[in-house]
Amino acid sequence: MDKSLKADIGLSVLWSVDQTSSQATKNCMWRETSDYKSCQERHIWERWIFRCLTSAEALTMDRIPGQTGYLLLNEEGAVLASSGDLENDEKAAVIIMGLINLTSYVDKAAFPDESFKKLSITYDKHCYVICLSNRKVHVVKKTLTSDNPVVA
C-alpha cells in the first residue's frame, strides 16, 4: 500500500487490492458519513479511494502480454496513469480523445443503434488498443508478433 497515502489521511485502514481483477474496494473499510470529522477528511478519503481504483486499473494494463506502454485517461482526457512508451504522453492523449469523439457514430446505416466498444490503430509492427471502461479511457500500446497478431 502507498505509505504516502496513509500519511495523507492519517488513518489506519485495512484494505487489499485483488490484483487479478480491478476490485480495489474489495476489502476496503468504508466509513459512514457521520464518522467524518470534517468535509476535508471525507474529501481526502474519497480521493484516496479514487487513486486506489485508478492504480488497480493501471496494474491490470501493466500485465497485458506484449504491451510496451499504456495510458489511462479520465473522460475529459486528463492523464491519470501512464507507463512505458506512452509515459506522460499528453500529445497522444489529446489525439486519442479527438478520435474517440469522432467515432461516436460513424455510419448510422451500417451500425444503427450501436456504439463502438473497441478502437485499434494498427501499424506494421505495433498497435494501439483503446477502450472505455468505468468512465475511463484505457489505451495500450502493444507489439505485434506472429503469436500475437491483430485480426481485423
Which residue's C-alpha cell is 499504456? 70
Q: Is 64 in the site for another protein (CB under 8 A)?
A: no
How many Å apart are CA 113 and CA 55, to the nearest integer?
A: 33
How many Å apart are CA 32 and CA 29, to the nearest integer?
A: 10
Count CA within 13 A, CB hemisphere, residue 10.
Answer: 5
Q: Which residues ranging from 79 to 98 are in contact with another protein (CB under 8 A)? A: 92, 95-96, 98
Q: Is 70 in the site for another protein (CB under 8 A)?
A: no
Are 45 and 116 within 8 A, CB to CB? Answer: no
Nearer to another protein, 115 or 145 (CB): 115
Q: Which residues ranging from 96 to 135 are in contact with another protein (CB under 8 A)? A: 96, 98-99, 102-103, 106-111, 114-124, 128
Using CB under 8 A, list all residues that contact another protein: 92, 95-96, 98-99, 102-103, 106-111, 114-124, 128, 150, 152
